[in-house]
Structures are given as C-alpha cells and as structure tokens.
Amino acid sequence: MRIGLLGGSFDPFHIGHEALIKGAINDGNVDCVIVIPSCRNPFKPGKTLSAAPYRYYMTNNAIASNRAFDGKVFVSDIEYSYPGISYTLTTIKEISKPNYIRTFLSSMGIDKELAYANHSFYWICGSDVLPSFEKWHEPEKILGLCGLLVASRPGDGIDIDSQKNRLAGIFGFEPNITEFPISGYVAASSDIRVTRDYSLVPDSVKDFIITNALYGDENPIDFVSADSAQDFYENAIKLYKYLGEKRLLHTLNVALLSCHYAHVFNPDLCDKALIAGELHDCAKELDEELQWEMAREISGDVFNHKKLIHSPAGALFAQQEFGVHDPSIIDAIMYHTTGRGGMEELDKYVYVADKLEPARTYADLTRERVLAEVNLDESIKLIIGNVKKKFESRGQDIHPLTFDFINDLGV
Ligand SMILES: [Fe+2]
Ligand SMILES: [Fe+2]
C-alpha cells in the first residue's frame, strides 16, 4: 500500500488538518493515511502544548467521527512506544517496521493480504516546510525512508520545482517530492487556542475541548516549575500504558484542577497538587488481585473494600513506577477516596478536584464548583453531605476514615 503519514501536535486537530488528509487521498497519491499525534515535540518543548493524551484522544475522536475517513484514515500511538524526543525520522523508522505496520493495519481492519504486502511511505506536509527542510533532524535519512507529499495552495508563493532542485543540490540526490493541491481555509492550532474560534475544528473536537475545559483563560501548568511541568508531561505519557481513555483524561483533568485550587488557596502547593492529582487513580486499572496485595503492603487492612483499594495501591504505585516519594503527595493519593481526620490542604485539593473536574457529569455540580472557588471546606460539605446520604440510603457503613473526615467538617 501507499501509506501517507501525517505527524503533528494537533493541539487542537482542525479543519486544515482534515483538508490535508482529504487532499492527499483524493488526489490519488496514497491509499490510506496514518495520523500520528506527537508525544514529545522537538519544536515545542516546555509548557506550550496540552499533555500528549489530550491531543491523541482528541485527534482519534476527530478521525473516528468523520465517516468519509472510514477504512482510509487511522491514528497511531507509535510515539508512546519509544523514549526521548519524537523526531520525524524516529517515528518513520518505527512505524515502517514490518512487524508494527502489519499488525497495526490488521488491527484497523485492513485485509491481511494487503496489510502484509510491501508498503511505501509518504510524509504529508505543507509546501511551507520545503524552504527549510534541510534543517530538519537528519533530513537525508528521512528522504531515504519515504517520499514527501507536499500540499500546495494557489498563491502560496512556493515553487515546488525550484525547491526540489535546491534540495537536490544540498543532498546530492533527487528527493522524492510529490505535490498535491488543497483548498480551504488555512487554520493554525496556536491561533485557535487563543481565539477559541471552534468553527475551525470538527464538532467532535469542539465537544472534546469543552468537556475537558481545554484552552481556558488560565493554564495551571504556568503555575508550576519547569521540572514539575516536565514530570506532568512524562507521567501522562506513562499513564497511557496503565489507564483507558476515560480514566486517563479524568486524571489529567484532576491534575489541572487540583493545581488550580492550590493556586487559589496556597500557590506554594501548585507543583505537588499537579502531580498528586495526576497520579491519584494511577493504580485503578491494575489487576484487582495486585491492587489488594499492594494495598495490604502499604496500609495493612485499613482499606477493606474493592472500591477503595486503588487509593493505597496508587500511593505505592506512584512511588514504584513514577518515582514520587514526597510523603504529602503519597498521602493525598492514599486518602483521595475516603478522606481522613485532619485532612491536609493538599489532600483537599485532590479530593475536591476528583469530584468536580470538568468532565464529571454524575450530578449538577454547579453549586459545588462555584463554592470551591471561594471556600473549599463549604464545597466539601456539600459533596460529603451527598456521599453520606448515599451511604445511608443504601444502608452501608461509612468507612471510619470518612467518618473522621465528616466529623471534622461538622456535617
Ligand atoms: Fe479514585
Ligand atoms: Fe478519580
């Protein structure tokens, strides 16, 4: 098959990306397109981008909801599978390995005979990359593995033939560059993040942005150190291995909201709140028996119900797998389900964020959310009052730790 590859940060995926994919397929240059959201973008380090799983799932939703892309356009998580910066060359090398591409295409429903046939690869990009293509990381090697499929727009001012000659002069061989026309509005993700003009994104992307409250007035990552931001991004990539879509997005939302509460009430705790929130459910999808073992190892039989064991198991997993050893972060993870007597501030940020993160829809949480901006304890009283009622109506015992928590608050 002739396989087009479209890499990018997709923060957010927008109609310009759709136009590139449609253009490449409709012009007959490729049989299918694999979209590859970046994990660690070499050109956008630091705090610029949303955490990788947000961008991956947003792109995945956009492709899945476009009927015209059925069976022709796929999204790959290949960049989660290797460490270090996601250079284009590394990604092309990894995705074009026969073992990977055959399994991937088969898993996407491509007929086995086709999936196991020989493939050629084309990196899809805009014509604007050509004038500086030689500055990419190891560009000759990229051209050795794939062709370039270059979108040109009327009046974009770039003469593809002269760029081809220029690059041939630099590299000493004629690069395989094919041009295809595209039309439509030119959109830029960085502008959309600022203007929030969501007419430039597919509906599924708009829903995703709103559900997860991306691109708000404030970016909590701005409140933490560069090291903590880096830890947050790396943990998010690692969590992809352990959590499904819904829970992973939930944990990232909890991280950012915990950090927001810390910024409102005690900015010194922003860094810890971000990491504690991010890892609070890190063990929740591990094998249940393993969770019981981990819970017993770190806390004896204090957490004695299967709905609670992911908290102590998470406290242990955060240490073992994510290298977090700050006792206050470990405690915030440990007590995020039950609460405890003498809850620390950090515990409360994570507890409340877990209940109120933007994707939570289990009840109308408007009052709780408004209150939490000014008085966390009052919001917790509303939340815990409902928890107490739920337990009473079911005739269930309240956990002794939760009982202490409730007594402290005087609910
Ligand atoms: Fe939890
Ligand atoms: Fe949670």
If you measure from the C-alpha of residue 125 to the centroid of ligand 1, how many angstroms do you get, rounded to a whole number?
A: 42
Residues in contact with 216: Cβ distance below 8 Å, sequence separation at least 6, in sequence order: none
- Tell me the whole-structure pTM to 2 decimals: 0.95
- Ligand 1 (ion): which residues have CB within 5 A? 281
pLDDT in tens, the chain (411 residues): 999 999 999 999 999 999 999 999 999 999 999 999 999 977 666 777 999 999 999 999 999 999 999 999 999 999 999 998 889 999 999 999 999 999 999 999 999 999 999 999 999 999 989 999 999 999 999 999 999 999 988 778 889 999 999 999 999 999 999 999 987 767 899 999 999 999 999 999 999 999 999 999 999 999 999 999 999 999 999 999 999 999 999 999 999 999 999 999 999 999 999 999 999 999 999 999 999 999 999 999 999 899 999 999 999 999 999 999 999 999 999 999 999 999 999 999 999 999 999 999 888 899 999 999 999 999 999 999 888 888 888 888 889 999 999 999 888
Name the closest ligand to CA 314. Answer: 1
If you measure from the C-alpha of residue 354 to the centroid of ligand 2, how many angstroms do you get, rounded to a whole number?
A: 5
DSSP of 33-80, one letter per residue? EEEEE-SS-TTS-TTSSPPHHHHHHHHHHHHHT-GGGTTTEEE--GGG
The pLDDT of residue 45 is 62
* H/E stretch holding 177: strand 177-181
Q: Strand order of the sheet with strand 120-126? A: 73-75, 32-37, 2-8, 120-126, 147-152, 177-181
The pLDDT of residue 44 is 65
Name the closest ligand to CA 277. Answer: 2
Range(s) of the chain covered by CATH 3.40.50.620: 2-204
If you measure from the C-alpha of residue 387 to the centroid of ligand 1, how many angstroms do you get, rounded to a whole number?
A: 14
Name the closest ligand to CA 284. Answer: 1
CATH architecture of 219-409: Orthogonal Bundle (1.10)
The pLDDT of residue 389 is 87
The pLDDT of residue 343 is 96
The pLDDT of residue 216 is 95
Name the closest ligand to CA 336. Answer: 1
The pLDDT of residue 154 is 78
CATH architecture of 2-204: 3-Layer(aba) Sandwich (3.40)
The pLDDT of residue 6 is 98
Range(s) of the chain covered by CATH 1.10.3210.10: 219-409
How many angstroms separate the CA atoms of 315 and 265, rounded? 24
The pLDDT of residue 252 is 98
